[in-house]
Structures are given as structure tokens and as C-alpha cells.
Amino acid sequence: MGRRTRVGAGWFLFFVAPLAAWLTIVSGASAASTRCEEKVLSDWSDNGRVDGVYPLRCYQEALAKMPTDLRDYTNATDVIHRALTRAVSSAGERGLGTPVAAGATPQAGPDRAKDLPMPLIVLLGLSVAVLGAGVVGHVARRRRTLGD
């Protein structure tokens, strides 16, 4: 009869730890990507001003995704444009960008350039899982051949 090999708790943690880390990263990335344009619009809706300071992409997304009735019947577009211009010019004063000329529409790139894109995170997680499965298979095969 063949000897049955037992995979220790270390191998269980070998799979669970990367999976837990990956899930933490994915959930953190999705929580961090809560709809910031909604934060800007809600900041405007409470008193007609944008009092908070948000990443530049939030202002741009708020302008792009603003409902038509807000755009047509309120001053939300003008207020958010002014807040965006103020944010870009203050970023320029701190050396984080270039100041925007009066009347120009600022073209700001992604403000969180250090974040990894979600497809890359998913690919990384799958790669770790496949690599782990290969290692476990290799170790199990070696144990089987050594035990015979």
C-alpha cells in the first residue's frame, strides 16, 4: 500500500496568507475608489460651495458625471470649475503641477499615480496562486517518490 503523505499547516498558510493579502489589497482598492465625484457633488449640495479639498480627478469626474438637471438649472458647474482651478493652482504653488491661466480649463492627470491598476493586482494574485499550486504539487510528488 502506498504511504499517505500529509500536508502540514505550513502549506495551508502558504495558500491562505497570499489569498488574504490579495483580498485585503482588492478590498482596499475598491474602498479607496469610492465615488469621489459624489463627495464633490454632495459638498456642493449642502451649501452651494465646495469647501473640501479633493484629488483633481474627483473634480473632473464630478463635472463629467454631473446629472443634466444640475448642469442646466444650478451653478454647480461653475462652482466645481472654480474649485478645480483653485486646487490646480494651489498644487502649482506647492510645486506639484503648473498653475493654470485664468479662463483656461485645467488638464490634470491621475492624481494617484502610485496606485496599481486593478487588472494588474488580479493578475498578480492569480500568478501567486498558480505558483503556489505548482510548488505544492512538486513537493507532494517528491514526497511520494521519496516514500516509495
C-alpha–C-alpha distance, residues 50 and 63, integer Å:
13
Same domain, 71 and 130: no
Q: What's the grid cell of residue 1?
A: 500500500
Cβ proximity of 148 and 2 under 8 Å: yes
Per-residue pLDDT of the chain (148 residues; tens, 9 = 90+): 455 555 555 655 566 666 666 667 766 555 455 588 888 888 898 888 998 888 888 999 999 988 898 888 989 999 999 999 998 887 665 544 444 444 444 444 445 556 668 888 888 889 999 999 999 999 989 888 887 6
Q: Is residue 63 part of a domain?
A: yes
Same domain, 90 and 58: yes
Domain extent at residue 135: 116-148
Same domain, 102 and 54: yes
Q: Is residue 91 part of a domain?
A: yes
40 exposure class (CB count in 10 Å sphere: 0-12, 13-18, 19+)? buried
Query: How much of the chain is in helix, strand and coil states, percent to nearest 5?
Result: 65, 0, 35
